[in-house]
Structure 1
Amino acid sequence: MAVKAPRRVKSQNTRKKIFDAAARLLKKHGEDYLTIANICDEAGISKGTFFYHFNSKEDLMLYYLQEGFDNFVAEHDGDAVKRAGDDVYLLVLYLYQEYLDYCQSMGIEFVSNYYQSKNKALDARSVMGTPDTMNFLLKACAEGLLAAQKAGFVREDWSANDISYDCCSVIKGCVFEWCITDGAIDLNAHAEHMLHAYFTNVVTDRYREAFPFTEPPMA
């Protein structure tokens, strides 16, 4: 008698099957061809099966971004926390630089389609507590900010979570700007400039005495 795979394993396999089908469609035909109907045809599944695993195409794209980002970080240095040390500004900058590098590797067509106002997965407050890429960045930033507050490097009248949300909003704004300009701006340089401008209101004099906090050139 054959041993049946646990339901959780079957579910993971089906999600991967859908993910792989979407990846093939993106590579072969581009973003315009990526519809739920086409994904289902490519994966050989029903729409009911698709919606059992994903709430929408945007939900699938979030999964696509998460899986790819995990692989991207693993293939690159992925040690933003170690490189930043106790410098909380560099921690946030390095974490999001990895994310921005990944966005650029995905291509502006894909990212432009994902970064839309109707995509509720981009709402940082709604994804907190879910195991996705943006939540990983939010949590890593919040943890670093909380430690920096305890060390006297970050103002204490703002919560670490709120500052983390703000940083996320800054980065999303930079990505939107990159998309609407069709990649005309230097995304990393623009994000570094904007984060530095924001952190001038976040870090304390004690932080400025301990770290360079050099203002980057205009993007």
Structure 2
Amino acid sequence: MIKITSRTKQAETTKNKIYECGVKLIRINGFDGVTVEQIAKEAGVSVGTYYYYFESKFELLREIFKQADDYFLKEVKGHLKAEDFKGQIVEFFGKYADFNYLNGLEMVKKLYTCDNKMFNIKGRAMQNILEDIIKNAQVKGEFSNTYVATEITRVLFVVARGIVFEWCLFDGEIDLKSEMEKIISNMVVGYMFIK
């Protein structure tokens, strides 16, 4: 068993403080409206300390997206209750909506910009979880094999991001979760019957 020293605890506390202050400032000002210097000042650390824990401002953004993947690994993978594949996919995107609610409308608005290339990263945990569900559905013949699971995953995320963008555009006035589940359900039915 690895012994956790007080120095290790302090380092983790400092990194978390920088992360939380960065998220707070991004929530208020957007990613491009925040500098490393501002984040360091808000966290009460030097710029050098910031760079000790995060290589760049982009690295902080990467950490925000890592939190999303960690959520899906902890809360979604192996925890979906639906018995059929269609239900699992719809439930998966219900959890995607829940995660956006957890982040809050203002934070999500700041992240959903065409300048945020983190949405382009392939092979993230949440994508892999969905892709495995789709592959299993294809193996069992419940989902068409016309398209590979990777492509279906990509398209479903494009649609889901569009729904989240609309939620942002209308300042949270739409019910994100019910919209997500309704639209994804229709998409999934389409993929089940494509020949």
Q: TM-score interval w.r.t. the shorter chain?
A: 0.7 to 0.9
Contact 1:153 1:203 in 2 (8 A): yes
Q: Supply the AA of the counterpart residue of 1:180.
A: L
CA 1:88 to 1:56, structure 2 compared with 1: closer, same or farther past 3 Å?
A: farther
Q: Which has the higher contact order (CA 8 A, sep 6+)?
A: 2
Aligned with 1:167 (options 156, 164, 171): 156
Unaligned 5+ runs, structure 2: none
Q: Supply the AA of the counterpart residue of 2:28.
A: E
Counterparts of 1:75-154 in structure 2, within 5 Å, are: 78=76, 81-85=79-83, 87-123=84-120, 126-128=121-123, 135-154=124-143
Deviations 1:82-141, CA, capped at 9 Å, x for gaps: 4123x2221121122112112113221111001111000012xx232xxxxxx2221111
CA 1:82 to 1:189, structure 2 compared with 1: closer, same or farther past 3 Å?
A: closer
CA-based RMSD? 3.4
Q: Supply the AA of the counterpart residue of 1:197.
A: N
**Identical aligned pairs, as a percentage?**
25
Q: Supply the AA of the counterpart residue of 1:150.
A: V
> How many residue pairs were aligned?
187
Contact 1:81 1:91 in 2 (8 A): no
Tell me the CA shift for residue 53 of structure 1.
4.6
Unaligned 5+ runs, structure 1: 129-134, 206-219
Distance in 1 (alpha carbons) for counterparts of 2:13 and 2:46: 15
Distance in 2 (alpha carbons) for counterparts of 1:71 and 1:189: 20
